[in-house]
Amino acid sequence: MISSAGFLYLGLFALAASMDRHRRTLAGPWHRPPVAPLLAPTGWCLLGLSLLSIAPGWHGGIGLVNWCGLLPLVAGIMMLGLTYRPEWLRPGLVVALLLIAAGAMLRA
């Protein structure tokens, strides 16, 4: 579940960065023209990967329910961050990567 939260954050961040409205706010290396069209498909793939990462540990049904509860939590964090403190979302990428690494280490 820890790594799934990290994948959800990365996926929602990529989807937000792919939108014209948020691209200026989240300006960074992903703002370059060749990278911008790849952000939305990457975001959707990361969301799918978050669902796949939670399913084996919880045997399907329970994992899906946990993922459906985790999705609005992470989306709310992303929404509040975009509304009030967009500059705090970029350091969240490092935290998301650490969550994915911690989830992989705890699962092994």
The closest of 23, 14, 73 to 49, measured between CA atoms, is 14
pLDDT tens readout for residues 17-64: 888 777 777 766 656 677 778 888 999 999 999 988 887 767 767 888
The closest of 33, 38, 39 to 10, measured between CA atoms, is 39
- Tell me the residue ranges of DSSP E strands in 7-83: none
Query: What does the pLDDT read at residue 108?
Result: 54
Domain hosting 50: range is 2-107
What CA–CA distance (Å, rounded) separates 3 from 105? 10
More confident residue, 26 or 78: 78
| Residue 20: other Cβ atoms inside 10 A | 7
Query: What does the pLDDT read at residue 96?
Result: 92
- Give the number of domains in the chain: 1
* Contact status, residue 12 vs residue 75, Cβ threshold 8 Å: yes
Helix (H, G, I), strand (E, B) or coil at 60: coil
